[in-house]
Structure 1
Amino acid sequence: MSQTAPTPSSAVNGPPANEADVIIVGAGPAGCTAAYYLAQAGVDVLLLEKTSFPREKVCGDGLTPRAVKQLTSMGVSYEGDGWVKNHGLRIIGGGARLELPWPDLAEYPGIGLVRTRYDFDQILVNQAVKAGARLLERTTVTEPVIDERSNRIVGVAAKNSEGDRVHFRAPLVIAADGNSSRLSVAMGVRKRDDRPMGVAVRTYFTSPRHDDDYLESWLELWDRSAGKDVLLPGYGWIFGVGDGTSNVGLGILNSTASFGKVDYRELLRRWTQSMPEEWGFTEENQQGKILGAALPMGFNRTPHYARGLLLVGDAGGMVNPFNGEGIAYAMEAGHIAADVVAQALSRPTQQARERTLLRYPVILRDTYGGYYTLGRYFVKMIGNPDFMKYATKYGLPQPLLMRFTLKLLANLTEPTHGDAMDRVINGLSKLAPAA
């Protein structure tokens, strides 16, 4: 069995502990989903995670119906404690307040969820392990192992929980190691400067609003630090967690000259101080620090497959440029990658396997490329403060327009036989170049 063209392991006593058919680096939503579906397909998959569960992760904790669909497909129950269901999105801005229920679709459920990332990823990793994936926590991948003859990745080097250097081998590796994706960088796959990037910061407050059954989005974020009012491209959010606290944060896009110059933590402090006192968004009610994270959007790292390495989730820049949603797309990409890999491993020759693996970026482009291109145009438009002011003032009071906007921003349409809004959005996504 060659290093570059092996078939799935089938040893009676199981594979060696440091070998697998597929190695996945990172046990976030993308990595866990890929591991789950690969294990379901009978592939020996090794999941390496640098931390241990549960662990804190910077996130809004909100899940749209797209993510709920993925949870259902993985057999995750969201009926117990710790899950908060929501019925839609409440939008506030321009003096207007509008509640938009999630669209009634056959393709997606009519509910969203809130679950803290502190244990959300652990729930997913448990599903992957139950399906047969092997998990190693506190294992930090340091570099790829490259076969000199083929110039392909054939494993990874890592440090284990004791600090010892270890090697793991597999003919295919999936990078699910987040925005920085050191594994991708080491393989020469770097970020694209022509793709949007965002920054999100969040904290938690003890608040009576903890059980709100709508996600809440504030479309007006003003930067007053320079002595003048600048409307920033982004939004603030308030998501009730159901445990007595609310996740409160904001996300800003890089489509304005002030990006990178704003103190985002201070901006969040000023924003929350402007809220009604009875909501409890005060310093004494704050639970934990204000933490931030980057939002890599619109396929900002490509190619998504090369030389035995597949990128999923934030490692491949798969955050939706329209709304900053990442979990749903990470899970969807993990599912797509797992299906492609399982099919590839079943092929009889290396040439056939490689041809199948090269379908992965094609499927991603066909699925999201046009829509993400529209998202990049959207990011540029809202980077214009005048456009933002006009849109919030005249757009928000129009319920029909806002229902269309919700479907567009959340990417919630019927693929076929939808209404007029669905046909317009789907048509625009097909017409837009999938660059």
Structure 2
Amino acid sequence: MRAGASDDADVIVVGAGPAGSSAAHWCASAGLDVLLLEKAGFPRDKVCGDGLTPRAVAELARMGVPTDAADGWIRNQGLRVVAGGRTWELPWPDVTAYPGYGMARSRMTLDHRLAQHAQRSGAKLLERTKVTGPLLDDRTGRVVGVTAQPLDGRGRPDGAPTTYRAPVVVAADGVSSRFATSLGIERRDDRPMGTAVRTYFRTDGKAADGTPSATGPTSRHEDAWMESHLELWSGAPGQSDLLPGYGWIFALGDGTVNVGLGSVSSTPARQSAVGHDYKALMRTWIENTPAEWGFTPDNQVGPIRGAALPMGFNRTPMYRDGALLVGDAAGMVSPFNGEGIAYALQAGRVAADAITQARTRTTDDARERALGTYADRMRAELGGYYTLGRAFVRLIEHPTIMRVGTRYALPVPVVMRLVVKLLSDCYEPRGGDWVDRVIAAMTRVVPAA
């Protein structure tokens, strides 16, 4: 994978979301020439809960991303869990590996900041550049670059198609990952698939158009807790089925809150068979929230938008013939909680390490082995956890188990401690208390995903 004289970069990264910007940052920091290609123009939106767990905050700290409150970052203390008619406020677990707080920031600005950080590290960012496919070596079939189409501000072709060459390509182009698909790397049918929908509401006393709100301020935008509603009903509360998922309210500190819900199925086929209208469910849930929260049409900012959540390494192999898949392109969303940002940032870092190590090897075989360590490391670090997550999804698909769990198991302090550490993925992999040791042991004994 040594760069040749005709190459445009040492590494091409397709997609400037968290995974792509992380990979670009770490590769550029190691002295590599990095070309980061993004089909949209910043700032651009992404359907997400906008919440950052302590695990994600730790990755931002490693990258050196500034997260000052004066710059629009808001910290949170932990999870407020609402279930069975009761509410618990659960601080983030106190572990040495991660900070004791989470954060939140709209993806509209988060992704832009991360891409700018990669630029400051030395990566070259090309916006409105749509990658249309891989460039393959005629003799070996190895990926040696990409073909791309410049776009105008409306997403239409703007100029002649372009070819960019590099000895290695990082695919960070999201859940559909057309780049991976064009290489014949399809999504797996034995992995969970989630669906999330979300919108925003102003809670600072202003309506969406900036005029005073009829409901007045509620200050939910400054909430110190990430709120999760574990009872997600398919219809009227208490008179319909409990769905495997949860609703959320995440404060963004800028006058708005991110309000959404997510549901998960053990396989894509089961998700299709269920066939819920999640936007309708979202509207029903919002209508049943307390009036004092101000979740009214006048205060709503933007429509309800939805997206798929690819979970548990649902696209493999993660490395093949010069192409590494990171983030949603490899299905790295957690089956436990729908979190994807932390793992996207982690994958970018691990991928960059494999790439920089490969460049020090002196033979093609040695370079291939070094690049292959990326997939091995990701499976070793997350495979067991994702396997437990798949089992968790199969359990909560049963309404009876959901009902019994939320009403009788969650109130037990020991169970609650276990649940919050599992759902947040904040546990000590070595040492810690007995809950940490139990989780760590379970992730080691199950087969890696």
> 5 Å matches for 1:111-260?
111-161=101-151, 162-207=158-203, 208=218, 209-224=220-235, 229-255=240-266, 260=274
Q: Quote the Cα distance in structure 2 between the aligned partners of 1:182 and 1:126.
A: 25
Q: Quote the Cα distance in structure 1 between the aligned partners of 2:54 and 2:273.
A: 30
Secondary structure at the counterpart of residue 345 of structure 2: helix
Q: CA deviation at 1:51?
A: 0.5
Task: Give the match for residue 60 of structure 1.
Answer: 49
The one-letter code sitting in structure 2 at the alignment partner of 1:214 is W
1:363 aligns with 2:377: yes
Q: CA deviation at 1:19?
A: 0.8
Indicate how the Cα distance of structure 1 residues 94 and 370 shifts in structure 2: closer, same or farther if over 3 A, else same: same
Q: Deviations over 1:6-53 (max 9, x none)?
A: 24x7xxxxx87x711110000000000010010011111110000111
Q: Quote the Cα distance in structure 1 between the aligned partners of 2:445 and 2:148.
A: 44
Q: Quote the Cα distance in structure 2 between the aligned partners of 1:378 and 1:417.
A: 24
Q: Quote the Cα distance in structure 1 between the aligned partners of 2:240 and 2:123.
A: 52
| Percent identity (aligned) | 56
Q: Quote the Cα distance in structure 2 between the aligned partners of 1:405 and 1:189.
A: 34
Contact kept? 1:202, 1:290, Cα under 8 Å: yes
1:35 aligns with 2:31: no
Task: Give the match for residue 89 of structure 1.
Answer: 79
Q: Quote the Cα distance in structure 2 between the aligned partners of 1:324 and 1:257.
A: 15
Contact kept? 2:264, 2:271, Cα under 8 Å: no
Q: Deviations over 1:239-287 (max 9, x none)?
A: 1111111100000112467865111111101101101101001111111
Secondary structure at the counterpart of residue 49 of structure 2: coil
1:402 aligns with 2:436: no
Query: Unaligned 5+ residue runs, structure 2?
Result: 152-157, 204-217
Contact kept? 1:98, 1:396, Cα under 8 Å: no
Task: Give the match for residue 12 of structure 1.
Answer: none
Secondary structure at the counterpart of residue 434 of structure 1: coil
The one-letter code sitting in structure 1 at the alignment partner of 2:281 is L
Q: CA deviation at 1:206?
A: 1.3
Q: CA deviation at 1:224?
A: 2.3
TM-score by length of 1: 0.95
Which 4+ runs in 1 deviate beyond 4 A? 256-260
Q: Quote the Cα distance in structure 2 between the aligned partners of 1:147 and 1:34.
A: 23
1:75 aligns with 2:64: yes
TM-score by length of 2: 0.92
Q: Quote the Cα distance in structure 2 between the aligned partners of 1:257 and 1:301.
A: 17
The one-letter code sitting in structure 2 at the alignment partner of 1:158 is A
Contact kept? 2:193, 2:271, Cα under 8 Å: no
Secondary structure at the counterpart of residue 233 of structure 2: strand
The one-letter code sitting in structure 2 at the alignment partner of 1:119 is T
Task: Give the match for residue 294 of structure 1.
Answer: 308
Q: Quote the Cα distance in structure 2 between the aligned partners of 1:212 and 1:134.
A: 37
Task: Give the match for residue 39 of structure 2.
Answer: 50
Secondary structure at the counterpart of residue 232 of structure 1: coil
Q: CA deviation at 1:163?
A: 3.7
Q: Quote the Cα distance in structure 1 between the aligned partners of 2:364 and 2:291.
A: 64
Indicate how the Cα distance of structure 1 residues 394 and 284 shifts in structure 2: closer, same or farther if over 3 A, else same: same
Q: Deviations over 1:69-99 (max 9, x none)?
A: 0111111121123211100000001111101
Report the aligned-residue RMSD. Answer: 1.5
Figure out how many residues of one structure are paired with residues of the other and give that number: 423
Query: Unaligned 5+ residue runs, structure 1?
Result: 10-14
Q: CA deviation at 1:122?
A: 1.0
